[in-house]
Structure 1
Amino acid sequence: MIAEIDKTPISIDQFVDWYPESSENCYELRRGIIVEMPKPRGKHSEIAGFVIKCLNLIIDDLQVPYFIPRECIIKISKDTGYEPDVTVIKRPNLINEPLWEKTSIIEKGESLALTVEVVSTNWGDDYALKMTDYESIGIGEYWIVDYLGIGGRRYIGSPKQPTVTVCTLVDGEYELKQFRGGDRILSSAFPALNLTAEQIFVAGVG
């Protein structure tokens, strides 16, 4: 469950100044409104951690200059910023990110190799709102990990089932591909990645 903290619109700069250093929750700024996001717990947290582990392994294997920060806010506009479950940053691009050192804010989509959102009950945010916003700033690849299969039928089909949707930026627009069960995830950011949808859903168990 998400909750709006205050109806008074603020800027991303004011949001960063306001953001509490120690909190049981995460926060995002959506069209000027602070939204409280419960920290990932249970299966959600386990899946995010497993994806991070898999991506870190291939980053190390390929020796590419990428890293996954513990915290990162993606600035969409002057009044909107998100904190994805997983963010893969291209280290050389940080030279063009003046806000990174002091605020952990990324402004340019080309600085990101991949973002990942693990779907919760507010699935519409990940499939509609964030997909549109990530596309608008040019993030090359975006995964939506719907391990409960709760997204709308227009996104994951019918009957609903656990699905990983990979959104790849092509000529400024996302092309979507769905992966389920034993399907191997096809990633333009990590073509050598050997990972199936089911491995993500069970977080590597077995």
Structure 2
Amino acid sequence: MTVAAQKRMTLQEYLKYDDGTDTRYELVDGVLVQMGAESTINTLIAVFLIDIFRSIGIPLVQIGIKQKIQVKSRYASARDPDFILHTEESFAAIEGLSEACLKLNDSNPMLVAEVVSPGPESSENYQRDYEQKPIEYADRGIPEYWIIDPDRSLIRVGTLVDDVYQFTEFSGEQLLISPSFISLDLNAAQVLNAGL
């Protein structure tokens, strides 16, 4: 991770920040931190998830990308998940805002998914998605958290139980089981390959 700016920012300044590039940032302890570039498969998986959830009747307004979630953490002030499934209440909290960010006191989405970028377990992106974000999203009370890891060919579906995610791993032809979306008819390989 490279620090994009040294000046400490508030959440409001972060939400309005635009450096004129397509660079993604997260706010870490008041400092902008540049996120790595997304690989092609990562973006294809996010688009594939949109198609899948639309096919089971989820309204487009409940699907979020490029929307932020404020968290309480020593690592970050706000996260930028790859994919969000909103409740009606969480979408209503950001509807019409010029900077879409669910604040701490806003309703939670029903599901957040992160597509892990390649790298060893010691990498910052692995630590963020596997170690930090499960704690942050659980602390918010988000019912379901998916870690989609094309590099390791697995998907971890986390269900919030007693304020901690209990994860089940899926790979290959295993049918994904989502407690929130029992009508999904989808295996891990389909997601990991973005339906290709």
Q: TM-score range by the shorter chain?
A: 0.7 to 0.9
Q: Number of residues paired by the alignment?
A: 187
Q: Any runs of at least 4 consecutive aligned residues in structure 1 with deviations exceeding 3 A, and if so which? A: 92-95
Q: Which moved more, 1:48-57 or 1:165-174?
A: 48-57
Aligned equivalent of 1:192, options 155, 159, 183: 183
State whether residues 4 and 36 of structure 1, in contact with CA within 8 Å, keep that contact through their aligned partners in structure 2: yes
1:157 corresponds in structure 2 to none
* 2:156 aligned residue: 165
Match of 2:71 in 1: 76
Tell me the CA shift for residue 65 of structure 1.
8.8
Quick one: which of 142, 145, 163 aligns to 2:145?
142
Mapped to 1, the partners of 2:161 and 2:65 lie a distance apart of 29
CA–CA separation in structure 1 for the residues paired with 2:139 and 2:188? 26
Are 2:15 and 1:16 equivalent residues in the alignment? Answer: yes
User: Hey, what does 1:106 align to over in structure 2?
Assistant: 102
Alignment deviations for residues 100-120 of structure 1 (CA, whole Å, 9 cap, x no partner): 623211125743011110001
Amino acid at match of 2:190: Q
Unaligned runs of 5+ residues in structure 1 are 150-161
Residue 56 of structure 1 aligns to a residue in which SS? helix
Task: Answer yes or no: is the 8 Å Cα contact 2:144–2:160 preserved in 1.
Answer: yes
Q: 1:100 to 1:164 in 2, by over 3 A?
A: farther
Residue type matched to 2:68 in 1?
Answer: I
- Check the 8 A contact 2:67/2:100 in 1, yes or no: yes
Whether 1:67 and 2:59 are equivalent positions in the alignment is: no
Structure 2: tracts of 5 or more residues without a match: 120-124
What TM-score does the superposition give when structure 1 sets the normalisation length?
0.81
Aligned residue for 1:43?
41
Contact 2:114 2:129 in 1 (8 A): yes
CA contact 2:157–2:168 (8 Å) conserved in 1: yes
* Residues 75 and 107 in structure 1, CA contact (< 8 A), matched pair in contact too: yes
Look up the SS of the partner of 1:112 in the other structure: coil
Return the TM-score normalized by structure 2. Answer: 0.84
1:153 aligned residue: none
Contact 2:25 2:35 in 1 (8 A): yes
Amino acid at match of 1:77: K
